[in-house]
Structure 1
Amino acid sequence: MDRDELAGWLRLTLTPGVGNGTARRLLAAFGLPEAIFEQPEGALTQCVTPSQARALRLVPDGLAQQLETTWAWLQDTVPDGPARVFLTLGDGRYPQALLDTEDPPLALYGIGPSAMWAANPFPAGRCLAIVGSRNPTAQGADNARQFARALHAAGLTIVSGLALGVDAAAHEGALDSALAHVNAPATIAVVGTGLDRVYPRQNLGLARRIAAHGILISEYPLGTPPLAANFPKRNRIIAGLSQGTLVVEAALASGSLITARLAVEQGREVFAIPGSIHAPQSRGCHALIRQGAKLVESAQDVLEELHLPVPGAASQPASCGLSPTDSAPAAPPESALLQAMGFDPVGLDALMARTGMDTAAMQVELLELELAGVVARLPGGLFQRMGSA
């Protein structure tokens, strides 16, 4: 794409009052953006309202600066480093899955390895979204990581939103997968800001890993800050790219339920992992299951529902349907404390009442279990068993 063509697309996306649907009608009627802006106002009103036609005849404020910034950003790459791209609806690398949705973005900004952009970076029918709470339980974060690892090993690209919590764990799990797919991204992060910034900043290191082994994409112009309204809107892209959406943990007011609803509207599958009836982070998943989402206990459940082959490792009985080497460490069967703990978060007072142990002995055993990775310490002085231990 040359500078003039880029200018035309940026002008179309920045024109006030012209959304994606209106822009697509204009493109269908007149061709490339440059041709749209050459039309007289009378011709434009055949497709848009008079106010929109007048707006299209004016150069948007800030276009020159946005063009300069975007052009410089696209050129600012280093040898063997991630490449930067600007994909429009007519680009052969634009994801077909999004073209099949009701509201595909006019353009996508992307960062990822050059080899991926040279091929098809969005494998059709091979993407799965994993989303959930920004404040998951220790078990929820581990579930996201383990499911992502197993599902990527089965050949799926994991899509999420680079948020804290479940999103980050899902990206990490995919990146940690032992299986490397040539020219296929391990994970795709759909962000709600411009790609010249990372939000939240705590995920800067993760974003760099994704840029090296996956893809970062955004529909928002460079310089766009983390505006609250942008994140629910970007969820349609997460759902649209994916053959299905797996919700790991979600409160009833979670944005993950928006992604699930959008997946249903786009004719995609929705999966949910059940949790404790006492955990607020499980209530959204339970609501989805009541509404018809598939309850999943293993990666195999997801693969079978999507009619994808199940690798031998994924079919073995182990935590999250993973291979035995990926399962959580087994706890000593004789541990009365672990048996009394159950699988819900629990405090010291409740454990003392259930076991009759004194505080000192209990603290010692809890520390041993925590160091073994069998128990996680939660905020508020609570403890929780991990995995299938």
Structure 2
Amino acid sequence: MSLPRALSDAERRDWLRLVRTPNVGPLTFQKLLERYGTATAALEALPEIAHRAGRGRRIDLPPSARIEDEIAATEKLGARLVASCEAEFPKLLHALDPPPPMLTMLGNPEHARPEAVAIVGARNASAAGRKIARDMAAELGRSGLAVISGLALGIDGEAHTASLATGTVAVLGGGIDHIYPPQHERLYREIAERGLIISESPTGYTARGQDFPRRNRIVTGLARGTVVVEAAERSGSLISARMAGEQGREVMAVPGSPLDPRAAGTNRLIRQGAALVRHAEDVLEVLSGLPPLRVAAPPAPEFEADFPGGEVPRDLLARVREALTPHAMPLDEIARACGLSAAQCSAVLMELELAGEALTLPGGLAARAV
């Protein structure tokens, strides 16, 4: 495990520019650093990689002026851009594979501590669900846990409000300055002053539907366990629960009446093995039985440079491109179909993603870009 290090101003600009480059998600960012060593070197190599892998396509690097503007806007808000290699970066997020490369943080970073639990649930929560969320968040806060949620209406807002005095973290889908929903403007201001707000999106960015799963991944990644208070059969809260399970975090759910559709999702989670919790004491009991969580990502494998000159041959690009489908498949299966090692296949997929030909996803999955 490498020790935390602070980025210089020039390094921070290049990290941010690489993060904001089209088709560079967290996994591709990580692989580019493994291959080229620095964000500066990766930026220099990107145009040629995208041209070769994308059958002549270009990649549009963000203008330097746009990066400078984002840095200035972030600083004007009193927020900070924190890279995953820096000491201020939330420790539990290092266990994600891969962690988000860079976050914007507004408030007190000490609230993103490992002793944390996420509380999520329905936006149209019942009065009973709201009370359960409030009481649970307040008691967990008094027990020393930070409370993580997504600033949504309903359960999220109740959990944040009840834990303001003890430490709460709100994760946004949009930029750090995008207050959504607008009904939570006052709560946003209070969390910025007394808690912590986190975003993976650029300053000034308005969240869209596809951004909320990415937000939910951070919500659950910041916590040892996630409690779902109310959730319909199809809801973002169930996506959060699935992500928590994939991250190796504990999933807990509050049971509800079989006659209430807002309890259908939580009741199903319990049937599928989620821990049944009724109040904060149950949550504390579940968390106390968990083994210690490794909060540092495993050492990154070195790039397997057994291609001629370190360059991926065009025939391999075509072979892997042909093997991809619109439905995500495990990387090992794609590698086996193409006669490649997993490391070689990963290197090819990185180049195809930069060219807009492939999507690499958390959990070792990849798909054809559509």
Using structure 2 for the length normalisation, give the TM-score. Answer: 0.71
Same amino acid, percent of matched pairs: 41
- 1: CA distance between counterparts of 2:242 and 2:223? 13
2:278 matched to 1:297?
yes
Deviation at 1:240, TM superposition (A): 0.9
Pairs within 5 Å for 1:350-361: none
- 2: CA distance between counterparts of 1:40 and 1:288? 43
2:17 matched to 1:15?
no
**Counterpart position of 1:167:** 156
Deviation at 1:223, TM superposition (A): 1.8
**Counterpart position of 1:274:** 255
2:277 maps to a residue whose letter is V
Cα distance per residue 1:90-117 (max 9 Å; x no partner): 111112211211232111011004xx4x
2:41 matched to 1:35?
yes
Q: Give the conservation status (yes or no) of the 8 Å contact 2:30–2:98.
A: no
Q: Give the conservation status (yes or no) of the 8 Å contact 1:66–1:222.
A: no
- 2: CA distance between counterparts of 1:49 and 1:23? 18
SS for the counterpart of 1:274 is coil
How has the CA–CA distance of structure 1 residues 52 and 159 changed in structure 2, closer, same or farther, with 3 Å as cutoff?
farther
**Counterpart position of 1:152:** 141
User: Structure 1: which 5+ residue stretches go unaligned?
Assistant: 78-82, 181-185, 310-389
1:29 maps to a residue whose letter is R
Residue from 74, 79, 86 that aligns with 2:81: 86
SS for the counterpart of 1:263 is helix
How has the CA–CA distance of structure 1 residues 99 and 158 changed in structure 2, closer, same or farther, with 3 Å as cutoff?
same
**Counterpart position of 1:387:** none
- 2: CA distance between counterparts of 1:210 and 1:110? 12
- 1: CA distance between counterparts of 2:12 and 2:54? 24
Using structure 1 for the length normalisation, give the TM-score. Answer: 0.68
2:201 maps to a residue whose letter is Y
**Counterpart position of 1:331:** none
2:138 matched to 1:143?
no
- 1: CA distance between counterparts of 2:193 and 2:260? 36
- 1: CA distance between counterparts of 2:13 and 2:57? 19
Pairs within 5 Å for 1:210-225: 210-225=191-206
Q: Give the conservation status (yes or no) of the 8 Å contact 1:132–1:166.
A: yes
Deviation at 1:52, TM superposition (A): 10
- 1: CA distance between counterparts of 2:94 and 2:269? 26
Residue from 259, 266, 269 that aligns with 2:240: 259
SS for the counterpart of 1:147 is helix
- 1: CA distance between counterparts of 2:284 and 2:46? 53
**Counterpart position of 2:76:** 76
The structure whose RCO (Cα within 8 Å, separation 6+) is larger is: 2
How has the CA–CA distance of structure 1 residues 245 and 170 changed in structure 2, closer, same or farther, with 3 Å as cutoff?
same
Deviation at 1:54, TM superposition (A): 7.0
- 2: CA distance between counterparts of 1:193 and 1:223? 8
SS for the counterpart of 2:285 is helix
**Counterpart position of 1:194:** 175
2:66 maps to a residue whose letter is Q
- 1: CA distance between counterparts of 2:127 and 2:69? 41
Cα distance per residue 1:104-141 (max 9 Å; x no partner): 2111011004xx4xxx55212x0100000000001111
How has the CA–CA distance of structure 1 residues 157 and 284 changed in structure 2, closer, same or farther, with 3 Å as cutoff?
same
Residue from 38, 50, 54 that aligns with 2:53: 50
- 2: CA distance between counterparts of 1:258 and 1:59? 32
**CA RMSD, 1 decimal:** 2.4
Cα distance per residue 1:354-373 (max 9 Å; x no partner): xxxxxxxxxxxxxxxxxxxx
How has the CA–CA distance of structure 1 residues 5 and 224 changed in structure 2, closer, same or farther, with 3 Å as cutoff?
same
Deviation at 1:53, TM superposition (A): 11
Deviation at 1:277, TM superposition (A): 1.6
Cα distance per residue 1:30-78 (max 9 Å; x no partner): 2231122244867x58xx973399756x533xx345323322223325x
Deviation at 1:6, TM superposition (A): 3.3
How has the CA–CA distance of structure 1 residues 131 and 88 changed in structure 2, closer, same or farther, with 3 Å as cutoff?
same
Cα distance per residue 1:268-287 (max 9 Å; x no partner): 11111111221111111100
Residue from 75, 93, 99 that aligns with 1:98: 93
2:218 matched to 1:237?
yes
Residue from 303, 307, 311 that aligns with 2:288: 307
Query: 23-32 or 103-112: which moved more?
Result: 23-32
1:59 maps to a residue whose letter is L
Cα distance per residue 1:301-341 (max 9 Å; x no partner): 111111179xxxxxxxxxxxxxxxxxxxxxxxxxxxxxxxx
Q: Give the conservation status (yes or no) of the 8 Å contact 2:47–2:58.
A: no
- 2: CA distance between counterparts of 1:233 and 1:49? 29
Q: Give the conservation status (yes or no) of the 8 Å contact 1:41–1:53.
A: no
**Counterpart position of 2:337:** none
Q: Give the conservation status (yes or no) of the 8 Å contact 2:79–2:104.
A: yes
1:240 maps to a residue whose letter is G
Deviation at 1:2, TM superposition (A): 5.2
Cα distance per residue 1:214-261 (max 9 Å; x no partner): 110010111211201101221111111110000001111110000001
SS for the counterpart of 2:288 is coil
State the number of aligned residues: 284
Q: Give the conservation status (yes or no) of the 8 Å contact 2:13–2:68.
A: no
**Counterpart position of 1:287:** 268
